[in-house]
Amino acid sequence: MARGAFIVLEGLDRSGKSTQVAKLVDRLNQTGHKARLQKFPDRTTAIGKMIDAYLQSQAELDDRAIHLLFSANRWECAEAIKRDLANGMTIVADRYAFSGIAFSAAKGLPFTFCLNPDAGLPLPDLTLYLTVPPEVASTRGAYGVERYENLDMQTRTREQFAAVAREVQARHGEDRWVQVSAVGTIDEVEARIWELVDGALRRVDETRVGEL
């Protein structure tokens, strides 16, 4: 049996990522694939509840401590991801380690410190990085109330995502990280994403799941 594909969507807050992740899972299931959503952070676990309290500013934590909790939250899901992929289930993740690196590096933590805790996690077959120009993002309504949802943090995170893109492409190949414009209608963005995912689905059957 062919394994499933591991597809990640990344992007800044207000990139439309969560909408597109939901549409992608639906479309995969409607076209004869087995697919499920994996949200990161997964706020339902014990570690996820600590992260949720931090994001809602109900708890204060050292920058390195919260970085490690975000990473631990991915590690506690890693076995299930690998098992499901092996059983033919395609996983669509709403954020992954790349958010972890970009957001923490944006706070000023050293890049290699940000990278290291996630080393060895399952390697996505395809990461789609949804981009919107700042002026378009600002027309999509006010930021929410969570900790990182302000223009200064989002601007610095955008810069760090560019460094993450270079790192992933250098280590794992240019076809694993693709930037997708999230400008346009929901349907237009969905079509761009589907074309890229369709290509990735054709490639994965022959390959093993790699490691970050």
Q: Which residues bind ligand DGP (CB under 6 A)?
A: 13, 40-41, 55, 67, 70, 95, 99-100, 103-104, 146, 148
- Could you tell me the smallest distance in angstroms from the CB atom of residue 11 to Na ion? 9
Count of chain residues binding Na ion (CB under 5 A): 2
Question: In terms of CB distance, is 55 or 85 closer to Na ion?
Answer: 55
Q: How far is the CB of 159 from ligand DGP (least distance, A)?
A: 15
Residue facing Na ion at closest CB distance: 18
Taking CB under 5 A as the criterion, the residue among 5, 12, 18, 99 binding Na ion is 18
Burial class (CB in 10 A: 0-12, 13-18, 19+), 33: middle
Q: 127 or 204: whose CB is closer to ligand DGP? A: 127
Q: Is 52 in the site for Na ion (CB under 5 A)?
A: no
Q: Which is nearer to ligand DGP, 4 or 48 (CB)?
A: 48
What are the backbone dihedrals phi and psi of residue 132, each rounded to the nearest 5 degrees, phi first?
-130, 135
State the minimum distance, in angstroms, from the CB of residue 180 to ligand DGP.
Answer: 17
Q: How far is the CB of 39 from Na ion (least distance, A)?
A: 8
* C-beta of 62 vs 206, nearer to ligand DGP: 62
SS3 assignment for the chain: CCCCCEEEEEECCCCCHHHHHHHHHHHHHHCCCEEEEEECCCCCCHHHHHHHHHHCCCCCCCHHHHHHHHHHHHHHHHHHHHHHHHCCEEEEEECCHHHHHHHHHHCCCCHHHHHHHHCCCECCCEEEEEECCHHHHHHHCCCCCCCCCCHHHHHHHHHHHHHHHHHHHHHHCHHHEEEEECCCCHHHHHHHHHHHHHHHHHHHCCCCCCEC
CB of 125 to Na ion, least distance (A): 22
Interaction of residue 13 with Na ion, rule CB under 5 A: yes
* Residue 104 site contact among Na ion, ligand DGP, none (CB < 5 to 8 Å, cut-off depends on kind): ligand DGP
Contacts to Na ion by CB under 5 A: 13, 18
